[in-house]
Amino acid sequence: MTGGLSVSDLSFDYGSKKALDHVSIDVPPATFCALLGPNGAGKSTLTALLTRLLVAPAGEIHVAGHDLRKHPRRALGDLGVVFQQSTLDLNLTVRQNLAYFAALHGLPRSEVPGRIDAALDRLDMRQRADERAGGLNGGHRRRTELARSLLHDPKVLLLDEPTVGLDAAARSAITDHVHDLAAQGLCVLWTTHLTDEVRDGDQLIVLHRGRVLTHGQAGVLRGDHTLSNWFLAQTGEAA
């Protein structure tokens, strides 16, 4: 059992429509794994299953060694999530948003202010701690969400298309930062449909129509092609 994220033989359907078909994924610690797939590939369903918003009838999910079905609380306690849609309460300040999350995760009250300061420092957001989330721009909201997802020191970080709607500078800042986190030991699963967010050294999984088409190291997989062309060829052939 790895300390990272492991998914085996996961299937899920919405009535007659199959969303995921025997998906298996293994992401060890200290790895940045990009889950690349066109729209409708099943990325959001996978995210919902990994965060237990949905439960699949078949297959297993282990987060940091904890079985999500048998020990959901331990598994969710080791999981940090940044959803595609913002989950900030725009009426609350940055600090209030983080404090609310800390309470939802049962962090000891005495530790919370220190952890919030440290998390905001890492993302260079400390000076905005007392601003309302509604007043922040898209990039700063994302940074706040990333800071929040790290507040409880998760071992696995899940990001569902975290750069949607951000400008180029904010995108690359977030992408760089999460790569650094992986280098420091975190297990990261980053779902995207944008090939330029993936680096050659990253693990890459291509999801298409609910199935894993291929996986391996991005640089090795793409060979002499650009990743974008390689990805189009993969999903084009399959289509």
Given the rule CB under 8 A, which residues bind other proteins? Answer: 14, 44, 48, 51-55, 57, 72-74, 76-77, 79, 81, 83, 85-89, 91-92, 96, 99-101, 103-109
Q: In this structure, are residues 232 and 44 in contact, taking their beta carbons and an 8 Å threshold?
A: no
CB of 59 to other proteins, least distance (A): 13
Q: In this structure, are residues 175 and 32 in contact, taking their beta carbons and an 8 Å threshold?
A: no
Closest CB to other proteins among residues 164, 213: 164
Closest CB to other proteins among residues 6, 149: 149
Closest CB to other proteins among residues 140, 215: 140
CB of 35 to other proteins, least distance (A): 17
CB of 87 to other proteins, least distance (A): 4
β-strand partners of 14? 17
Q: In this structure, are residues 20 and 10 in contact, taking their beta carbons and an 8 Å threshold?
A: yes
CB of 122 to other proteins, least distance (A): 20
CB of 116 to other proteins, least distance (A): 13
Closest CB to other proteins among residues 31, 44: 44
Closest CB to other proteins among residues 72, 219: 72
Q: How far apart are the first and last CA of the chain?
A: 35
Q: In this structure, are residues 203 and 31 in contact, taking their beta carbons and an 8 Å threshold?
A: yes
Closest CB to other proteins among residues 57, 114: 57
Give all strands (DSSP E) within the chain, no chain letters: 5-14, 17-27, 31-36, 58-63, 66-67, 79-82, 156-160, 187-192, 203-208, 211-217
CB of 152 to other proteins, least distance (A): 9
β-strand partners of 212? 207
Phi, psi of 176 (to 5 degrees): -60, -45
